[in-house]
Amino acid sequence: MRLLLLLFIALPVLEMWVLITVGREIGALPTIGLVLLTAVVGLALLRRQGLSTLMRAQEKVRSGDIPVREMVEGVFLAVGGALLLTPGFITDALGFACLVPGLRQLLLGRLLRHVTIVRPGGFQDSHARKRGSDVIEGEFSRNEHHSAGDKRPKQ
């Protein structure tokens, strides 16, 4: 919690310092233009990456898999988009890191290594099976037509 508070205070101060420094070097209007340009380019990249991620998630759902990676990517994309809309060069750099596919995949790989996916009903997804956990797969059905003491099927 302290780290979050420190970031909440320090990041805007750093952003102002960088904006003032850049503005002093290249002028106020070019600095504002750069901030707007990064927002426009970032939103275009966000749209493209978001659609790609959505298509992959839909394909996984159609094949019966849980789109875990795509859901986490969606969070990264949303955070990246929010950072790009925040004026400043530091937040733009962090936002682009969330949107650039190679960097995002690297971050996702590190994050998902520490995650176990559990399906509704308690069954683990293939991520967990790959790590060597003991999973017994099977099928069952519940026949509601039987009473507790009656072993014969009702017709």
CA–chain centroid gap for 4, Å, is: 19
What is the pLDDT at residue 101? Answer: 83
Q: Label residues 24-50 b or e (16+ Cβ within 10 Å = b).
A: eeeeeeebeebbeebbeebeebbeebb
pTM, two decimals, is 0.65
Interval 113-148: pLDDT, tens: 776 666 665 555 444 445 455 556 667 677 766 555
Question: What's the pLDDT tens digit per position in 86-113?
Answer: 889 999 998 988 888 888 888 888 877 7
Is 143 in a helix, a strand, or coil? coil
The percentage of residues in the chain with a pLDDT greater than 70, rounded to a whole number, is: 75
**Given this model, what pLDDT does residue 155 score?**
53
Tell me the three state secondary structure of residue 118.
strand
User: Where are the domains positioned within the chain?
Assistant: 38-124
Residues 6+ apart with CB under 8 A from 70: 53, 54, 56, 57, 60
| CA–CA gap between residue 23 and residue 100 (Å, rounded) | 27
pLDDT at 119: 61
Instruction: Please tell me the predicted confidence (pLDDT) of residue 17.
Output: 96
